[in-house]
Amino acid sequence: MRKLYRSLLLLSLLSALAACGGSVVSNEEQEPDPVVIDVPIAFIERNIAISEGEPLRDLREPAQFIAGASLKIKARANASAPEIDLTPRILTLMLGDDALLEDEDGNPLAIDIKDLENDYTGTRIIFAARAPELEDMDVLPTWNIYEYDRSIDEVRRIIASDTLAEAGDDTGPVYLADGRIVFSSTRQRGNQARLLDEGKPQYAGLEEGLDVFASVLHIMDSDGSDLRQISFNQSHDLDPIVLPNGKILFSRWDQVASNKGINLYQINADGSDLTLMYGRHSHDSVEGLDDVQYANTSVTPSGQVLLGINSFANPLFGTNFVSIDIDNFVDNKTPIASMQGMTETAQQTVLFDSISLLDEISRGGYINALYPLWDGSGRILFSWSQCLLYQPLPEDAAPDSERTIAPCTEENVLDPAFEQAPAVYGLWMFDPDLATEKGADSEETQLPLTTGQDMFAVSEVVAMESRPFPANPESSVDRSRQALLDEGFGVLHIQSVYDFDGTDESPFGLEATRNPSQTPASMRPARFLRVVKSVSIPDDEVRDFDNSAFGRSNNQLMREIVGYTPIQPDGSVEVAIVANVPFSISVVDATGKRIGERHNNWLQLMPAEQKNCIGCHSSDSTEPHGRIDAQAASINSGAPNTGVPFPDTNPALFADLGETMAQTLSRVNGLARLTSDIVFEDVWVDPVLQAPEPSFEYAYADLESPLPITQACAQNWTAICRAVINYPDHVAPIFAVARTVTDELGNVLQDNTCVACHTPVDAAGMTQVPAAQLDLSASPSPENADFLTSYRELLFNDNEQEVIDGALLDRLVPVLDQDGNPVFARDENGDLILDADGNPIILTQTVGVSASMRTQGALASEAFFAPFEGGSHQGYLSGAELKLIAEWLDVGAQYYNNPFDAPED
């Protein structure tokens, strides 16, 4: 690469002449050059002057509009080849034949164009474009998808209907092998349909930072019909490309509970087999940078993934490009499990080692776009701005003297008298074979295809060449399972929740843990799997509510509980889960408390999809996870034999070789369905060997307070059923449920009602200190009227109080020094301050009372649960009530979990 840079330096001098008014190439007609590809190229050129000098894309805003783009076609990849500008035709399509296409100064209206891609025959290109916002527009313009077909020289918008086209911002289009188009869109077609099923208005949800609408993957036919959503992230899914194996690789913004960066995921065109592929622990993969984001990818014929070094808000217009070995790595320094021991890294520089994103002056310049050719040559088209410097002016030079260009030699870069000249991005082609054949100093190593111009930059390029159609990948949807297709359910199978990155974390070893004669159910920590669904948050135009609706923390936004299923003795689970929704999972104990970390990634299932997971993963682990081909083998090898039960288990549950216990149970008793309640029955015990453990159930129906589910769902738990727990509607009323102990005549012997003791007023109306300094009143909190007093007292630290002269006041105690002596008030000179009687004033301070609940979950809220679990309040709250409080804490302790239940602002 360093030899390559020396040859580029010679060309930089030629470009320097062009910047001063000379020309790098001849304008005479030329015969096709055997080094140049004899097919058209398409590229987007940006007028940097229109976009105020820095046309920078913010990855967090895929609908961002940057004026000043043009789409151009060159007859072939040669500097002298003629070019045509398609922009006027695109503008006419946007605004109509009769529209005024120029501004008041007579300049063409500045539009935005991006996400350029070609088809597999080399005859069509597809791209996203957006019109400018004009004063007389009734509806604001959105990003639409357009196609240019060079065989008929026609530009068309894919979705012909104005109404349908303007229903969302559509970006990042790519052709599938069958002619359909995959793209990213804010229209959220599937989400909105689900909202309607749930009795909510249809709306597009905000991404999890609550700044812009989430843009997720959709697919449509080539005429814009049969439009449907295939990815269900709650933040952005962007920039899809189709790999040679037919899988769709795309960039997902993982923002559940915190910003985890943009990583590379893979999915099938039918929405199945969603998989994290690369990048989760590689955001510092470039030395000196800690904000490397994985977006704007392309793929080589060999399957290598190429991408520019992106950040959320790159201060530079250009960047450097790397290739990623995505087949053998999940992170830059983490190979897949079968390749452990590799010393290489996944990411390698594509062209120039001399490009620096840290130095003030990059000697290798910057690359802004890159396209690998598919003709077997290994050649690459790229948009490049060389490093150019201004020669120092003589001391006696006139102020308006023309400045000359100098190369970025090491000596010149270190000399402060040389200043960096403005970037000038032109199109180039690099041929690695010629670099070897003709020598690194040959100008034929790479060729200029367009001359760079001041204030213009090529931002994207593709060759309109034919390339192999991708393969048709195997789907994980089993279309023979008609019932699942009809009902809209997929299947999740987990081999063992005790498997942490290939390590057995079961309490007694998996063989002993799964054997009920050695480990009874009551000794197993993992008892149930909870499935949680996200709630799409609307913008203020749909529902304007105060941020306090999220409660103590908005880290989890709002959540709904989809249901529970038992975890089998070997830690396995197989259960039907509603399809086409973003969901996460939690492992809970017998009382419904989450016993591990929150699963802060969104999973999804398509109807009749079978999704298999090996096990669990801790957030601080960098081991491969979530990608079956990359992970270590499961600790759960399944049944040792066919036709016989697992050791010491119920003989009616006979296993097949390799089955998990969950798979055996599904085959014999039918596929499990989620339930709203926690229900346990000891089905695995062999009754000949031992008695089954007692059955138990924590059911919403047993609550004496309002239920967090509808009456219809209480009767039949269907695909649209959810438990939606709002604190004021479902948790606070628990504390007011009457809990009296009476004699046979009905006389009250003891009143255990929560608010009978945990209130600032006793039964006689006298002021009292609430029991345990905890006020569970349902009145508005004096500290924050948006919350009930009980919510504020449970989840926020407070001050200890006492009754003084009939008033409830903060308790004050003396401030003591390190020796235990009182500290007295002193003035600025250090002299004692005396009271009216001439006595020193003792400094006092309040006594803190820690919150008994934590938004981290039920296990972190031991101070609340301990009195009910063997303490002074044993038996006061029912198991169903404690389970509801536990699950509410586990999903984030939100004040509201439905934006339409929260008061409007």
Phi, psi of 299 (to 5 degrees): -135, 145
Percent of the chain at pLDDT > 90 equals 75
Q: What is the pLDDT of residue 4?
A: 33
CA nearest to 2, candidates 286, 306, 355: 355
6 and 353 Cβ atoms separated by less than 8 Å: no
The count of residues in the chain is 905
Has residue 395 got a pLDDT over 90? no
Give me the half-sphere count of Cα atoms (radius 13 Å) on the Cβ side of residue 173: 30
- Taking the C-alpha atoms of residue 622 and residue 597, their distance in angstroms, rounded to an integer, is 16
pLDDT digits (tens, 9 = 90+) for 110-157: 899 999 999 999 999 999 999 998 877 777 899 999 999 999 999 999
Name the band, by pLDDT with cuts 50, 70 and 90, for residue 434.
low
Tokens of 660: 């998990």
pLDDT digits (tens, 9 = 90+) for 780-804: 999 999 999 999 999 999 999 999 9
Sketch out the chain's domains with CATH numbers. Answer: 2-463 (2.120.10.30), 482-728 (no CATH), 740-890 (no CATH)
Mean pLDDT calculated for residue range 559-580: 98
657 and 641 Cβ atoms separated by less than 8 Å: yes
**Sequence-separated (6 or more) residues with CB below 8 Å from residue 343:** none
Name the band, by pLDDT with cuts 50, 70 and 90, for residue 868.
very high
**How deeply is 619 buried, as exposed, middle or buried, from its count of CB atoms within 10 A (0-12, 13-18, 19+)?**
exposed
- Contacts of range 874-882, beta carbons closer than 8 Å, 24 or more positions apart: 876/739, 876/752, 876/754, 877/734, 878/702, 878/703, 879/591, 879/696, 879/698, 879/702, 880/698, 880/699, 880/700, 880/702, 880/703, 881/703, 881/705, 881/734, 881/737, 882/591, 882/592, 882/698
What percent helix, strand, coil does the chain show, rounded to 5?
15, 25, 60
Percent of the chain at pLDDT > 70 equals 93
162 and 507 Cβ atoms separated by less than 8 Å: no
Report how far apart, in Å, the C-alpha atoms of 817 and of each of 822, 823, 829 are. Answer: 6, 6, 19
Has residue 574 got a pLDDT over 90? yes
- Per the DSSP assignment, residues forming a β-bridge with 428 are 382, 448
- Taking the C-alpha atoms of residue 275 and residue 250, their distance in angstroms, rounded to an integer, is 10
pLDDT digits (tens, 9 = 90+) for 268-314: 999 999 999 999 999 999 888 889 999 999 999 988 999 999 998 76
Q: What is the pLDDT of residue 28?
A: 37
- Taking the C-alpha atoms of residue 12 and residue 16, their distance in angstroms, rounded to an integer, is 6
- Taking the C-alpha atoms of residue 445 and residue 428, their distance in angstroms, rounded to an integer, is 10
Name the band, by pLDDT with cuts 50, 70 and 90, for residue 57.
confident
307 and 324 Cβ atoms separated by less than 8 Å: yes
Has residue 32 got a pLDDT over 50? no
The residue to which tokens 């398509």 are assigned:
606
Mean pLDDT calculated for residue range 721-740: 97
299 and 330 Cβ atoms separated by less than 8 Å: no
573 and 529 Cβ atoms separated by less than 8 Å: yes
- Taking the C-alpha atoms of residue 582 and residue 605, their distance in angstroms, rounded to an integer, is 8
Has residue 15 got a pLDDT over 80? no
| CA 80-84-85 angle, 5° bins | 130
- Per the DSSP assignment, residues forming a β-bridge with 128 are 114, 145
pLDDT digits (tens, 9 = 90+) for 198-233: 889 999 999 999 999 999 999 999 999 999 999 999
**How deeply is 904 buried, as exposed, middle or buried, from its count of CB atoms within 10 A (0-12, 13-18, 19+)?**
exposed
Question: How many of the other CB atoms lie within 10 Å of CB of 485?
Answer: 18
Has residue 506 got a pLDDT over 80? yes
Give me the half-sphere count of Cα atoms (radius 13 Å) on the Cβ side of residue 321: 23
241 and 231 Cβ atoms separated by less than 8 Å: no
CA nearest to 890, candidates 858, 854, 852: 858
23 and 276 Cβ atoms separated by less than 8 Å: no
The residue to which tokens 């701005």 are assigned:
385
Q: What is the pLDDT of residue 9?
A: 34
Q: What is the pLDDT of residue 438?
A: 58
